[in-house]
Structure 1
Amino acid sequence: MSRGLRHGRRNSGFTLVELLVCLAILGLLASVALPMSEMTVQREKERELKRNLWEIRDALDAYHRACEDRAIIVSPDQSSYPKNLVDLTRAIPDARADRQGQTLRFLRSIPRDPFADPDVPADQSWALRSFQSEADKPQAGADVYDVHSKSRATGLNGIPLNRW
């Protein structure tokens, strides 16, 4: 009787074929998930790049408006845009008569280009365009009119990041 029970009892566990099928399915799922996760990381970096570009460009425009409103005094031969990005974070005395003793700041800190080398300081992570340079051939100069990424990568939208 004990002999019949031993043969009737089924061994628990997986066969080698079942394990190989499970491993193949897991490998297939991983090969699909990896490109999706890489695309998600790329998309997040692009969102951060877009936010940082807007933040810096808004600060550059605010600095320019402050010069036009005579809150910042510049000489006639000087540009109404900052000389560098660090100027946007410095406390600049407000030159308007009703605001004596007050200061202007346009950024708390300079956002960094998320595609730049993390060892590069944030203000040096951007390519700069001066007011005098052409839009299709941006060049650095005596002032900072605009910024763009130094990255040669192409965005998910097909446009090179340095053209954003």
Structure 2
Amino acid sequence: MSAGRSAATRGFTLVELLVVLAIIATLMSIAAPRYFEHLDRSREASLRQTLVVVRDAIDKYHADIGAWPPDLDALVTKRYLRKLPFDPITERSDSWQYVAPPGGDGTGVWDLHSGAEGTAKDGTRYADW
């Protein structure tokens, strides 16, 4: 048998394990809030980009057809969009709020907004984007 610790005394002491767990907990308390903030910012960026793409598709539909689309399904049917857009804040594709064209008979989709409640990191409401 060699000098030093015997086979029965090998391993970590309780104090060593507690120190390691305290270090891990400290690092997690720093990293977790940043991670969740990053997720929120990426959802907001995704919503902004989705709104840009769908609004562009609405404008192209109107330029080609001469009328505003009756709903977002018409954009998918006519292949202006591949599929119904997904709202990353509500995590649904049926929560969009349609805006009717101004000065017309009130039919069609002229614009759309997110149906999400709450405000973004910059203080603006999602529904106002």
Superposition TM-score tier, normalisation by shorter sequence:
0.7 to 0.9
TM-score w.r.t. the length of structure 2 is 0.80
Q: Select 1:89's aligned residue among 51, 76, 85.
A: 76
Kindly report which structure 2 residues correspond to 1:1-164, keeping only aligned pairs within 5 A, or say none: 9-10=4-5, 12-66=10-64, 72=65, 80-91=67-78, 105-118=79-92, 122=93, 124-132=94-102, 141-164=106-129
Q: Unaligned 5+ residue runs, structure 2?
A: none
Aligned residues: 124
**Post-superposition offset of 1:13:** 3.5
Letter in 1 for 2:12: F
1:143 positional shift: 1.4
The SS at the match of 1:25 is helix
Percentage of pairs with the same residue: 38
Deviations 1:45-93 (A, max 9, x none): 1122112111110011112222xxxxx36xxxxxx311111111223xx
Greater percentage in helix:
2
Consecutive unaligned residues of structure 1, counting only runs of 5 or more, are 67-71, 74-79, 92-104, 134-140
- Distance of 1:85 and 1:113 partners within structure 2: 13
Q: Deviations over 1:112-143 (max 9, x none)?
A: 1112244xxx2x2211111138xxxxxxx521
Looking at structure 1, the residues matched to 17 and 77 of structure 2 have their Cα atoms a distance apart, in angstroms, of 63
